[in-house]
Amino acid sequence: MLTFLLVVQAIVAAALVGVILMQRSEGGGLGMGGSPSGLMSARGAADFLTRATTILASVFVILCIVMAVISAHRAAPGTVDTSLKGAVSGQPTPAAQPAANKSPVPLGGQATPAPQPATPAPGNAQ
């Protein structure tokens, strides 16, 4: 339903842009000359385009409101994210613990050896 309304919204928006661009900035209509009488005279075109703009703008706003209401009712309440539970209590989460014995590979492509802990020489006991 929401996808259908979204497609209708896009069509209404395109029609609204087209109707607005056909109007002259002074409100004169299509900008075509013609006889002063008849349906598509300058005044008749302006009246038609003004009404079409009003109707399309109203439909656009109503569709926006309807889609917002549908989206709000469609979204189910989510569960609470418990991945940060350990960080709050002071214990690190498994994702936050550093990986053991992994040495980074520099951009050159050759791995650098992991630093070894210093061991005292056998004769230098402290």
**Amino acid 54: pLDDT:** 94
Q: Express each pLDDT in 52-106 by its tens digit.
A: 999 999 999 999 999 999 988 887 677 777 777 665 566 655 555 555 555 555 5
Q: Where are the domains of the chain?
A: 12-22+40-75
Pair of tokens at residue 125: 């006991």
pLDDT at 47: 84
Determine the pLDDT at residue 35: 47
The reported pLDDT for the residue numbered 82 is 73
Q: What are phi and psi of 54, to 5 degrees?
A: -65, -45
Q: Between 115 and 41, where is the model more confident?
A: 115
What is the pLDDT, as a whole number, of residue 27?
Answer: 45
Torsion angle of the four alpha carbons 52, 57, 63, 65, in this order, in degrees rounded to the nearest 10: -150
8-40 confidence digits (pLDDT tens): 999 999 999 999 998 877 644 555 554 455 445
Residue 53: what pLDDT? 94
